[in-house]
């Protein structure tokens, strides 16, 4: 079902690191009040956390237009990015869309994090970024993708997180998107293509150690959920060097590469990443 991506993940199911690292979530910030005031239709009044999160996912998806070539040059925070992209004025990439959704969820009192879904290949210049939110009514952590406005579920309709998706890829078991998922307003016809895209980008996962308003304006300490023996730092540096050779050493790539070279990889085990919120 998943071809080479399934084989790669199946052979890399043991993770490195300890269970001591944790992600922190800032549920209080002055900017959260501004978000609620400027965007009153985002679903703040909904009481049930799961219904609120799903409404916000749909709201962010409908507000924005995806553009993979967006350069993240704007300050990466929800107020700035909504001012830039709301009403589909300017396209944003999956990272910027996920920053908006994550900070809206945090402003609503829901623990959420921006998650980088990463491929193995250090010459692959495309990865995906989504959000995971802690929703007790759904059984724990759940993946929310603002690019497609979708979740993923198992055969019984239970919502899944990224590690559960990874396990299904390894076991060659399906996961399911809503039948009506859309990309920039158009219904996605080939769900198998999206499923393979996810599978490609599930070799390892990354997120900021601290999740809160404005945490993505600058490069900050990352945590990695990665297989044993896999050097995330080396892979990231090699990938960015390849990008610079392909596109030129412009400032954004130089700054990113410099950060990855300085950062010491901090590996978090899945049981620590997915413990109860």
- Measure the CA–CA gap between 21 and 273, rounded to whole angstroms: 8
- Measure the CA–CA gap between 227 and 205, rounded to whole angstroms: 10
pLDDT of residue 276: 80
pLDDT of residue 86: 86
Q: Exposure pattern of 13-22 as b/e (b: 16+ CB <10 Å)?
A: eebbbeeeee
pLDDT of residue 277: 62
- Measure the CA–CA gap between 140 and 156, rounded to whole angstroms: 16
Successive 10-residue mean pLDDT values, the chain, 277 residues: 97 93 97 98 98 98 96 96 90 98 99 99 98 98 99 98 99 96 96 98 98 96 98 98 94 94 95 88
- Measure the CA–CA gap between 161 and 80, rounded to whole angstroms: 28
Query: Token pair of 112, please?
Result: 């959420």
CATH architecture of 3-227+265-273: Roll (3.10)
List the chain domain ranges.
3-227+265-273
Q: Which DSSP string do the residues of the chain spell out, in sequence order? A: --HHHHHHHHT---B-SBS----EE----HHHHHHHHH-GGGSTT--SHHHHHHHHHHHHHHH--B-TT----S--SHHHHHHHHGGGSS-B-HHHHHHHHHHHHHHTT--EEEEEEE-S-TT----EEEEEEEEGGGTEEEEEBTTTTB--B-TT--B--HHHHHHHHHTT---B--TT-EETTEEP--HHHHHHHHHHTTSEEEEESEESTTTTSS---EEEE-BTT--HHHHHHHHHHHHHHHH---HHHHHHHHHHHHPPP-BB-HHHHTS--
The answer, as to whether pTM is greater than 0.75, is yes
């Amino acid at each position: 079902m998943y071809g080479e991506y399934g084989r790669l993940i199946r052979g890399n199911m043991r993770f490195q690191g300890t269970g001591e690292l944790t992600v922190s979530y800032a549920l209080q910030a002055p900017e959260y009040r501004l978000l609620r005031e400027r965007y009153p239709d985002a679903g703040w009044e909904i009481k049930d956390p799961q219904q609120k999160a799903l409404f916000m996912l749909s709201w962010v998806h409908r507000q924005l237009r995806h553009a993979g070539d967006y350069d993240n040059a704007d300050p990466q925070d929800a107020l700035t990015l909504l001012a830039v992209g709301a009403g589909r004025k300017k396209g944003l990439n999956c990272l910027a869309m996920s920053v908006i959704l994550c900070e809206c969820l945090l402003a609503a009192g829901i623990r959420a994090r921006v998650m980088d879904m990463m491929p193995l290949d250090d010459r692959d210049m495309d990865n995906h970024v989504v959000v995971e939110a802690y929703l007790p009514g759904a059984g724990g952590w759940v993946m929310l993708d603002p690019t497609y406005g979708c979740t993923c579920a198992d055969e019984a309709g239970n919502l899944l997180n990224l590690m559960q998706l990874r396990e299904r890829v390894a076991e060659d078991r399906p996961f399911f998107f809503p039948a009506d998922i859309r990309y920039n307003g158009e219904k996605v016809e080939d769900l198998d293509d999206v499923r393979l895209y996810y599978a490609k980008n599930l070799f390892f996962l990354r997120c900021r150690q601290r999740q809160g308003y404005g945490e993505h304006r600058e490069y900050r300490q990352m945590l990695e959920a990665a297989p044993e023996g896999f050097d995330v730092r080396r892979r990231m540096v090699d990938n960015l060097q390849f990008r610079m050779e392909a596109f030129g050493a412009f400032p954004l790539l130089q700054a990113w590469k410099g950060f990855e070279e300085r950062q010491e990889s901090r590996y978090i085990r899945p049981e620590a990443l997915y413990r109860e919120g």
